[in-house]
Chains A and B, each alone.
Chain A
Amino acid sequence: MNARDSILARVREALRGGSSSSSFAKATKDEHVAAGETRLADGSSEVRQVLPKVPDDFAGQVALFAERSDSLKTEFLACPDEAVASAQLKLLSDREGWESIAVPADSEIRALLTDVSITKLEVSRSTVKTDLEKVSAGITGCDALIAQTGSVLLTAKSGGGRALSVLPGHHVVIATSSQLVPDLPAAFELLERKYAPDFPSFMTFITGPSRTGDIERVLVLGAHGPRKLTVIMVGGEGAEK
Chain B
Amino acid sequence: MASAASQFNNDATRMVADLGHRQMVQQSLSGYQKTRSSNANRFQDWESARSRAAATKDEAIRHLDRYLEQFEEKLVARGAKVFWANDATEARTYILDLARAKQARAIVKSKTMVSEEIHLNDALEKAGFQVVESDLGEFIVQLRHEPPYHIVFPAMHLTRGQISDLFQQKLGAEATTDPEALTMTARRALRQAYIAADIGITGANFAVAETGMISITENEGNARLTSGLPKIHVVLLGIEKILPRLADLALFLPMLATAGTGQQLTCYNSMVGGPRGADEIDGPEEMHVVLLDNGRTRLLADAEQRDALRCIRCGACLNVCPIFRNVGGHAYGTTYQGPIGSVITPHLRGLQSWQHLSQASSLCGACTETCPVKIDLHHHLLQNRRNAVAEKGSLFQQLQFKAFAFVVNRPGLFEFAVHVMKGFSPFQRLFNATPADPVWPWTKSRELPSFARKSFRDLWKQRAS
Q: Which of A8, A129, A208 contacts B68 (CB 8 A)?
A: A8
Q: Is the CB of B281 within 8 A of A11?
A: no
CB <8 Å contact, A212 and B65:
no
1/0 per position for B55-85, CB-CB distance to A under 8 A? 1101100101100110000000010000111
In the complex, what residue of chain B is closest to A167 when comparing beta carbons? B225
State which of A75-83, A108-116, A182-190, A230-238 sits at the interface with chain B.
A182-190
Known contacts A149-B265, A207-B268, A218-B179; is-contact A129 B195 (Cβ 8 Å):
yes
| Residue B440 CB within 8 A of the other chain | no
Question: What are the residues of chain B within 8 A of A41 when measuring CB–CB?
Answer: 244-245
A121 at the interface (CB under 8 A from B): no
| A224 engages B190 (CB within 8 Å) | yes
State whether B43 touches A220 (Cβ < 8 A).
Answer: no
Q: Are A129 and B229 in touch, CB under 8 angstroms? A: yes
CA–CA, A226 to B305, complex, Å? 42
With A15-B65, A40-B59, A224-B134 in contact, do A217 and B268 touch (Cβ < 8 Å)? no
Stretch in A21-29, A90-98, A172-180 with 4+ CB within 8 Å of B: A21-29
B273 CB contacts on chain A under 8 angstroms: 199-203
The listed residue (A12, A124, A220) touching B179 by CB distance below 8 A is A220
Would A223 and B55 count as touching, CB distance under 8 A?
A: no
Residue contact B211 to A199, C-beta cutoff 8 Å: yes
Are B374 and A27 closer than 8 Å at their CB atoms? yes
Is B268 a contact partner of A206 (Cβ separation < 8 A)?
A: yes
Residues of A within 8 A of B59 (CB): 37, 40
| CB <8 Å contact, B155 and A215 | yes
Enumerate chain A residues within 8 angstroms of B277, measured Cβ to Cβ: 156, 200-201
Contacting residue for B267 out of A6, A206, A217, CB 8 A: A206
Q: Report chain B residues within 8 Å CB of A223.
A: 136, 183, 186-187, 219-222
Which residues in B have their C-beta under 8 angstroms from that of A157? Answer: 279-280
Complex formed: what's the CA distance from A26 to B43 in Å? 22
B88 on the interface (CB 8 Å rule)?
no
Q: How far is it, in angstroms, between the C-alpha of A209 and the C-alpha of B183 when the chains are bound? A: 14
Q: Is the CB of B90 within 8 A of A127?
A: no
B39, chain A: closest CB distance, angstroms: 8
Among the stretches B44-52, B123-131, B398-406, the one at the interface with A is: B44-52
* Chain A residues in 8 Å Cβ range of B186: 223
The answer to whether A205 and B253 touch (CB under 8 A), given A10-B293, A157-B280, A185-B247, is yes
Q: How far is the CA of A185 from the CA of B160 in the complex (A)?
A: 40
B55 touches A40 (CB 8 A): yes
The answer to whether A51 and B213 touch across the interface, beta carbons within 8 angstroms, is no
Measured CA separation A196–B246 after assembly (Å) = 11
Closest Cβ of chain A: how far from B225's Cβ, in Å?
Answer: 6
B339 at the interface (CB under 8 A from A): no
Roughly how many angstroms separate A150 CA and B68 CA in the complex, as a whole number? 33
Does B340 sit within 8 A of A, measured CB to CB? no
Check B353 for interface membership: any CB of A closer than 8 A: no
Residues of B within 8 A of A17 (CB): 301-303
Within 8 A of A (CB), among B189-234: 190-191, 195, 211, 213, 219-222, 224-225, 227-229
Please determine whether A127 and B219 come into contact, CB atoms closer than 8 angstroms. Answer: no
**Is there a chain B Cβ closer than 8 Å to A119's Cβ?**
no
| Chain A CB within 8 A of B250 CB | yes
At the interface, yes or no: B174 with Cβ under 8 Å from chain A?
Answer: no
User: B78, B271, B303: which contacts A21 (Cβ < 8 A)?
Assistant: B303
- Check if B78 sits within 8 Å of A124, measured CB to CB: no
B254 at the interface (CB under 8 A from A): yes
| CB-CB under 8 A for A7 and B52, given A161-B281, A204-B224, A211-B219 | no
Residues of B within 8 A of A192 (CB): 246-247
Q: A14-B301, A50-B46 are in contact. Are A204 and B270 (CB under 8 A)?
A: yes
Which residues of chain A from 104 to 155 have any CB-CB distance to chain B below 8 Å in the complex?
Answer: 105, 123-125, 127, 129-130, 133, 149, 151
- Closest chain-B Cβ to A48's Cβ sits at a distance in Å of 8
Contacts of B65 in A (CB 8 A): 8, 11-12, 15
User: Do the beta carbons of A156 and B45 come within 8 Å of each other?
Assistant: no
The reply to whether A162 and B303 form a contact with Cβ atoms under 8 Å apart is: no
Would B55 and A161 count as touching, CB distance under 8 A? no
Chain B: minimal CB distance from A39 (Å): 9
One digit per residue, 1 when the CB lies within 8 angstroms of any chain A CB and 0 when it does not, for chain B 314-339 equals 00000000000000000000000000
Closest residue of chain B to A130 (Cβ to Cβ) is B195
Tell whether, in the assembled complex, residue B304 and residue A202 are in contact, meaning their CB atoms are under 8 Å apart: no
Starting from the known contacts A124-B281, A207-B266, A213-B261, 15 additional A-B residue pairs (CB-CB under 8 Å) come to A2-B84, A3-B84, A7-B297, A40-B52, A50-B48, A125-B281, A167-B225, A202-B272, A203-B270, A205-B270, A207-B268, A215-B182, A223-B221, A224-B136, A226-B221
Q: Which 8 A-B pairs have the closest CB atoms?
A: A225-B221, A23-B376, A223-B220, A14-B301, A162-B228, A214-B137, A27-B54, A10-B297
What are 26 A-B interface contacts by the 8 Å CB criterion?
Answer: A7-B86, A11-B65, A11-B300, A14-B301, A18-B303, A20-B304, A21-B376, A28-B55, A32-B52, A36-B55, A37-B59, A53-B44, A156-B282, A191-B246, A201-B277, A203-B271, A206-B267, A207-B265, A211-B267, A214-B154, A215-B155, A216-B160, A217-B28, A222-B183, A223-B219, A223-B220
